[in-house]
Amino acid sequence: MSVATHTHISALIRHRRSIKPVDMDSSRAVERTLLTTILEDATWAPTHGLTEPWKFIVHQGGARQRLAETMQCVYQATTPANEFREDKMKKMGENPLLAPVVIACVMERRGGAKIPEVEEIEAVACALQNLQLSATAAGLGCYWSSPPLLGTREFAEWLQIGVEDRCVGLIYLGWPKSGLNWPRSVRQPVESKTRWCDE
Ligand SMILES: Cc1cc2nc3c(=O)[nH]c(=O)nc-3n(C[C@H](O)[C@H](O)[C@H](O)COP(=O)(O)O)c2cc1C
C-alpha cells in the first residue's frame, strides 16, 4: 500500500464522527447501489473461522415507522417504572424517521462451540466500523445506537432472529443536513494507552 493511500485512510478514520439523526436530511434517500457497496465493505471485516456472523436488517421508508413503534412498545413493556424516561421514549419514536436508513445489525451465531460468542460479536463490531468508514468516505453521516432494549427477547422476536443471535446496534445512515458543522472530537494521547516493550 502506498504512503499516499495510507495518508487518505488515516485522514478518513480521523474524520468519521457520530452524526445524530437530527442532523441528517430525512428527505434525501440513499441509493440502493451505494448502500449495497457500503454493506459489502462491511463484510470484508476479519472473522475467526470465516463465520461471517452478521446480518443487516435495513429499514427504509415505512419500515422505519414500524421500527420506531416497536422500540417504543418494547421500551414501555420492559423498562422498570423507576427507570422509565419520557424523553427517551419520545426519541425512540422520532429518531428512525429522521434518518432515511436504519440498519439493525445482528450477530448471527454461526461458529458453534468452536468460536467463542465474544469473537463473533467482535467480528460484527469490525464490520460495523468498516461500514461507518465506507459511509463516511461516501459523504454520509452515520450513528451507532445501542439502547438496552436491543437485548430484549421482545425485540429479538420482532426482528425474527435466533435465540443465540444478538442485535448489537442500530446504525442510522443519512446525508448530513447542508451547512452542518461537522462535530469535533478528541482522543487521549496514544502514549497514555500504550506500553512499548522493546527489550
Ligand atoms: C458499541 C457502541 C455503541 C454505541 N452506542 C451509542 C448509544 O447508544 N448512544 C449514543 O449516543 N452513542 C453511541 N455510540 C457512539 C458513541 O457515543 C461515539 O462513538 C462516541 O461518543 C465517540 O464519538 P465519535 O463517534 O464521533 O468519535 C456507540 C458506539 C459504539 C462503538
What is the per-residue pLDDT for 2? 76
What is the per-residue pLDDT for 22? 98
pLDDT at residue 151 is higher than 70: yes
pLDDT at residue 112 is higher than 90: no
What is the per-residue pLDDT for 1? 67
Give the pLDDT band of residue 140 (cuts 50, 70, 90): very high
What is the per-residue pLDDT for 166? 98
CATH code of the domain made up of 18-176: 3.40.109.10
Rounded distance, CA 174 to CA 33, Å? 14
Which residue's CA is minimally distant from atom 30 of ligand 1?
A: 144
Which residues line the pocket of ligand 1, CB cutoff 6 A? Answer: 17-18, 144-147, 169, 183, 185
- Helix, strand, coil percentages (3-state) for the chain, rounded to 5, are 50, 15, 35
Q: Structural domain boundaries of the chain?
A: 18-176
- Quick check: helix, strand or coil at residue 23? helix
pLDDT at residue 199 is higher than 80: yes
Q: Contact, 173 vs 99, CB < 8 A? A: yes
Q: Contact, 12 vs 133, CB < 8 A? A: yes
Q: Contact, 128 vs 104, CB < 8 A? A: no
Which residue's CA is minimally distant from atom 9 of ligand 1?
A: 145
Q: Residue 55 pairs with which residues in a beta bridge?
A: 106
pLDDT at residue 110 is higher than 90: no
Q: How far is the CA of 142 from the centre of ligand 1 (A)?
A: 10
pLDDT at residue 15 is higher than 90: yes
Atom nearest to 125 CA in ligand 1: 1
35-59 tens-digit pLDDT: 999 999 999 999 999 999 999 999 9
C-alpha cell read off for 180: 452542518
Over residues 179-188, mean pLDDT = 97
Residues sharing a CB contact under 8 Å with residue 97, sequence separation 6 or more, in sequence order: 26, 64, 65, 68
Q: In a mutational test of the pocket of ligand 1, which residue from 16, 18, 173 has the highest number of ligand atoms less than 8 Å from its CB? A: 18
Give the pLDDT band of residue 77 (cuts 50, 70, 90): very high
